[in-house]
Structure 1
């Protein structure tokens, strides 16, 4: 173990943690897997996999549609996940949480149900240059339908939001602002509390994309002061197809459903339909019940480890990986904010990001290459793509060393 990790290791048994993740034990192309694509999706601990398996083996039934025992068990698991998620993000009530397939669905729900009915020609939606496409494209679609426009606040060379410029955009014509809590490309942590405070002063609702924040830090939506907070389950140890939208109660009560079907109604007739109360009016159809059983297990796992220990380990890992990458000749890092999570985007002079990623895969190393669903950010830096190594608490300094050695090796092959 590298000496700098000693204090963190005293509080964090990395060997025991890694043993909880079955996929980390496999080989790729005959070499031990080094998984550095966590910003895309996290690996799952055995307890999450077992929770999904147990649901299908012992409790499989639909929710809210039967009085038989299996139906009641499935409903209890699904609504139990809502309760656990509410506590996890410190919502004041579980009824403020709409269970969704992830952040993309959550943001689209706000775009179509909350924002579109309020938009008029000349209105403005404010976001930032560093956003994921999921926090850009839905706003563009509803803006095109209504005659509104989307404006993006700039960033500086370090990848930090220009807060003054963001605030300057918050004029009386702005009907919603949207910002990522943490950039999926840069790792930059945005000052959400400050942005929320400025939005509240002007009566502007603020949506926060929390996809990249929740896996790394505790989130308290009441303390943040935003109006909407979106989360994706598969980035926080849980199964794919799970997520949530937290919204202030008054917003949910005022929002009409935009997706209709079973279980989101009180009564249906051909003369008209009355809808269920929030949040169920936004949850038409059969949900990913087994997936949300996995969400509960994922939260249990985070709480057993504790975010204090997770954050200490990850901060040391980020600092070490940053130092090691600087040893690579011709390497350019993107995003050096003072406050950031363990995401490292970079290019190596003379080498294409995709070529590097392909050769690294042959060394057993999984990293991401491309635009990372952030075309405007790539345009800001004047590059078509980057290579991204995104770390998690189950990664190790030894894996960083293997990664950097492999990067040095494949760089020489390409130059």
Structure 2
């Protein structure tokens, strides 16, 4: 696919923020792994909710409440269909990926005992490390790490060696937020299931690039955040197999998650409401559904093809800069480039790029164990989306060269 046939200029017109300037320069937004930008079509849906039918859901007989409920539940169905989930009540609305992971970790406190083993990969975001450390501390379980190599790929031989009848849970991200590596989750899920372990996949970084088929993957839990897929912040999705969601106790108590309450005993509501206590982010859920509609209209095959073209071009251009090193050179990766230049601190490069209107992320990207593995303080991370262009890559490269000349 060529840039012309993809028609990125038309797509960019959907994103109002791309027209603004930063420090007197046209914005070049390359921090998409942190959060993607929001198209006008999604913004309009959110504004429409507050202007025309703002009301609490599931609890009112009046018209506004019914309209809001219908729109919110329609979004749940959109998520179900997008990820090919068998049943809509296997879709739990959350505040984001971190919330979903903590919900599962809290629930598994009832099933994990001392001596059980939990496996996490070496390239996890902190949100898929800390909750399992907390679970291990509460239960006496042992946390073990699937190692990675210098290319930023999991060492699968070591993964198989770690598996045993003590393994109860395996956790892995679909795509590394720091390196862009696409992990072999199909293989990981199959191997874990063969020894009776459950699997949670952090899909936050995959969702903007890959349309995951959760029935085909046969994964037990899968979590994402809407703000990675052109949606609003503060809302996300946890998928869980019905059999697991029925076993897990509620994460929070309150309104909506109950069937009957007396001072003597409370019984819980059916799925999905059992895990959705309190008033949710209603407009966020509706906007989430609208964002998936938007991306599906563009087409995930088109998105993947175009972003791969950007990745290859950016990689080639950046590597032409003397002294620049890219971290994360896996064969299978998505449009993320983490790099450093010699002994220059990544923060200093990021600061100069910001003065040029270029938004990148610097630091450890909430993946400090990866930085410790490479023995570096952090990286400069440029992460590309389908609305970015080769011209923006060229601006980035010139900005990095300028920063290098200023700092060395």
| Range class of TM-score, shorter chain | over 0.9
Contact between 1:123 and 1:174, CA under 8 Å: does it hold in 2?
yes
Alignment of 1:367-406 (within 5 A): 367-406=360-399
Once the two structures are superposed, residues 85-122 of structure 1 have per-residue CA deviations (whole angstroms, 9 ceiling, x without a partner) of 00111101111111101100000010001x11111111
Aligned residues: 408
Contact between 1:132 and 1:184, CA under 8 Å: does it hold in 2?
yes
The answer on 1:364 being equivalent to 2:357 is yes
In structure 2, the residue matched to 1:251 is 244
The answer on 1:164 being equivalent to 2:157 is yes
In structure 2, the residue matched to 1:74 is 68
Distance 1:354 1:278 in 2: 45
Distance 1:36 1:166 in 2: 33
Contact between 1:8 and 1:312, CA under 8 Å: does it hold in 2?
no
The answer on 1:105 being equivalent to 2:99 is yes
3-state secondary structure, aligned to 2:325: strand
Match of 1:33 among 15, 27, 30: 27
Offset at 1:164?
1.6
3-state secondary structure, aligned to 1:157: coil
The answer on 1:325 being equivalent to 2:307 is no
Offset at 1:11?
3.5
Distance 2:251 2:383 in 1: 35
Offset at 1:77?
1.2
Distance 2:3 2:354 in 1: 29
Q: Return 5+ residue gaps in structure 2 as ranges.
A: none
Distance 1:250 1:311 in 2: 33
The answer on 1:52 being equivalent to 2:46 is yes
Offset at 1:10?
4.6
Match of 1:84 among 53, 57, 78: 78
3-state secondary structure, aligned to 1:178: strand
In structure 2, the residue matched to 1:291 is 284
Tell me the TM-score normalized by structure 1.
Answer: 0.97
3-state secondary structure, aligned to 1:60: coil
Tell me the TM-score normalized by structure 2.
Answer: 0.99
3-state secondary structure, aligned to 2:46: helix
In structure 2, the residue matched to 1:335 is 328
In structure 2, the residue matched to 1:407 is 400
Q: Return 5+ residue gaps in structure 1 as ranges.
A: 1-6
Contact between 1:11 and 1:309, CA under 8 Å: does it hold in 2?
no
Once the two structures are superposed, residues 213-257 of structure 1 have per-residue CA deviations (whole angstroms, 9 ceiling, x without a partner) of 010111101111211000111011010011111011100111110
Offset at 1:9?
2.6
Contact between 1:42 and 1:234, CA under 8 Å: does it hold in 2?
yes
In structure 2, the residue matched to 1:129 is 122
Offset at 1:8?
2.4
Match of 2:233 among 222, 226, 240: 240
Distance 1:72 1:12 in 2: 40
Runs of 4+ in structure 1 deviating by more than 2 angstroms, as ranges, are 7-11
- When the two chains are superposed, the root-mean-square deviation of aligned CA atoms in Å is 0.8
Contact between 1:127 and 1:152, CA under 8 Å: does it hold in 2?
yes
Match of 2:258 among 258, 265, 269: 265
